Chain A
Amino acid sequence: KNQVEQSPQSLIILEGKNCTLQCNYTVSPFSNLRWYKQDTGRGPVSLTIMTFSENTKSNGRYTATLDADTKQSSLHITASQLSDSASYICVVRGFGNDYKLSFGAGTTVTVRA
């Protein structure tokens, strides 16, 4: 069973609108959580990293939140642009096997003009 679940699977939004993506995980003990953006035909690129003590972190129009107690994270995209169309993948790293990442299946975001 995947230890990282993302929702929704996909969404379509109009340019300029906001959206929020969800990530629930069961990885324990927890080290950190990253949100990656993967453009079509490209490798994933890290947007944010959060440790258990951080509740929110921003990178431009991207804001990630983390609730380590409920094991939930969200990625909020503000004032979406056409270039935000991509797959957004939640990736959780635990302790012990430091190099092994647990990947969600991703949320595909399509921004339309």
Chain B
Amino acid sequence: GAGVSQTPSNKVTEKGKYVELRCDPISGHTALYWYRQSLGQGPEFLIYFQGTGAADDSGLPNDRFFAVRPEGSVSTLKIQRTERGDSAVYLCASSSGNGPYNEQFFGPGTRLTVL
């Protein structure tokens, strides 16, 4: 079956531009997570959705970052006025629930480069 997919795989943009990153979770997974991974580091939590609502957005670094999941499936991470420091790999994960033993399945990530 299909895993978590993310598009685009790579995105190069200029400082100050707006970008959207898309995540297609595993079908039927109600929980969806966004992470940011810098080179040589583990993923860093950004936001968690349960269904359509953002249950926890405490990891978003500032108000330039926003994410939606309008129909409880596909999610889009939006970054306004991009800065060079936003360059990283953005990972999406989904799981069938948010219990402690529910495995999060990760997508391949979107590598964002801000010039």
> Which residues A14-43 have CB closer than 8 A to chain B?
31-32, 34, 41-43
With a cutoff of 8 Å between Cβ atoms, the chain A residues found around residue B99 in the complex are 98
- Chain B contact surface mostly: loop
Identify which of B40, B100, B103, B106 gathers the most chain A CB atoms within 10 Å of its CB.
Answer: B100
Give Cα distance in the complex from A105 to B44, angstroms. 10
| Interface size class, chain B | 20 to 34
Per-residue A-contact encoding for B20-55, CB less than 8 Å = 1, 0 else: 000000000001010000001111110010000001
User: Is B13 part of the contact surface with A, judged by Cβ < 8 Å?
Assistant: no
Q: How many pairs of A and B residues are in contact by the CB < 8 Å rule?
A: 56
Per-residue B-contact encoding for A44-60, CB less than 8 Å = 1, 0 else: 11100100000000000
| Interface size class, chain A | 20 to 34
> Which residues B60-115 have CB closer than 8 A to chain A?
91, 93, 98-101, 103-109
Task: With CB as the reference atom, state the residue of chain B lying closest to A95.
Answer: B100
With a cutoff of 8 Å between Cβ atoms, the chain A residues found around residue B103 in the complex are 34, 46, 49
18 sample A-B contacts, Cβ–Cβ < 8 Å, listed by A number: A9-B40, A34-B103, A41-B109, A43-B4, A43-B105, A43-B106, A43-B108, A44-B43, A49-B101, A91-B42, A98-B99, A99-B33, A99-B48, A99-B55, A103-B42, A105-B40, A105-B42, A106-B40
New A-B contacts (12) at CB < 8 Å, excluding given A31-B100, A49-B101, A93-B100: A9-B40, A41-B108, A42-B109, A43-B107, A89-B43, A91-B42, A95-B100, A98-B99, A99-B31, A99-B55, A99-B98, A106-B42
Q: Which residues does A use to contact B, with CB under 8 Å?
A: 4, 9, 31-32, 34, 41-46, 49, 89, 91, 93, 95, 97-101, 103-106
